[in-house]
Amino acid sequence: MVLEKLNQAGIIDLLGSIYEHSPWVAEILFSQGITSQDNDVGFLAKRMKKIVDASSEEMKLSLLQAHPELAGKLAISGNLTKDSTSEQASAGLDQCSKEEFADFSKLNFEYTKKFGHPFIIAVRDLTRSEILTSFKERINNDSQKEFETALTEVHKIALLRLKAL
């Protein structure tokens, strides 16, 4: 990547989907200036994380709410982003049994009702069973702990997406 040679549209086109449906992260990144250091994925990931971490609680919640449910309605209807489709498929979420799908549906509903955003976990290298176990554990967290955990997972997803560029 040679980011410092890209204009704003190029940066947003390349990095706008790193944080799900949240191109504002790439917009702020560009407004702060792009240098050759940003060509290092680790450096760039830290810069983007700082932008999210410095945003308001409302913006963070909006970012969390932009994520799709796991094995949810968008996945079934084929309306996930390309990245989310690939990520969920890598964990076999597109191949759930009826029982697993029922578990995900119930947990998605209960979790979103409790926390106001979907359950978020970096699913790469996890099995459906591991994801369901984590889901069942995390639904018992308090709101603040789960908000922080979900943001940590969002940052993991962003790093994985940057590495895949």
More reliable by pLDDT, 92 or 16: 16
- Which range scores top for mean pLDDT: 23-32, 82-91, 98-107? 23-32
At residue 92 the predicted structure's pLDDT band, cuts being 50, 70 and 90, is confident
Alpha-carbon gap, residue 61 to 22, rounded angstroms: 11
**pLDDT at residue 28 is higher than 90:** yes
Tokens, residue 46: 């830290």
Using alpha carbons only, what angle is made at residue 36 by residues 33 and 39, rounded to the nearest 5 degrees?
A: 100
Least trusted range by pLDDT, from 71-75, 135-139, 142-146: 71-75
Closest to 163 measured CA to CA, from 60, 48, 12: 48
Q: What is the pLDDT of residue 78?
A: 62
Which of 34, 56, 78 is the last residue before a domain boundary?
Answer: 56
68 & 147 share domain: yes
Q: How does the average pLDDT of the chain come out, rounded?
A: 92
119 & 147 share domain: yes
Cβ proximity of 25 and 19 under 8 Å: yes
Phi, psi of 21, rounded to the nearest 5 degrees: 50, 35
37 & 79 share domain: no
**pLDDT at residue 47 is higher than 80:** yes
41 & 88 share domain: no
In the DSSP assignment, the letter for residue 44 is H
Q: What is the pLDDT of residue 82?
A: 79
28 & 46 share domain: yes
| HEC readout, 85-126 | HHHHHHCCHHHCCHHHHHHHHHHHHHHHHHHCCCCCCCCCCC
**pLDDT at residue 79 is higher than 80:** no
CATH of the domain at 119: 1.10.3330.10
The active-site residue, picked from 21, 67, 117, 155, is 67
Q: What is the pLDDT of residue 125?
A: 87
More reliable by pLDDT, 94 or 11: 11
Return the half-sphere exposure (C-beta side, CA atoms, 13 A cut-off) of residue 58.
0
Domain of 138? 63-164
Q: Per residue in 124-137, pLDDT tens?
A: 889 999 999 999 99
144 & 98 share domain: yes
> Catalytic residue at 67?
yes
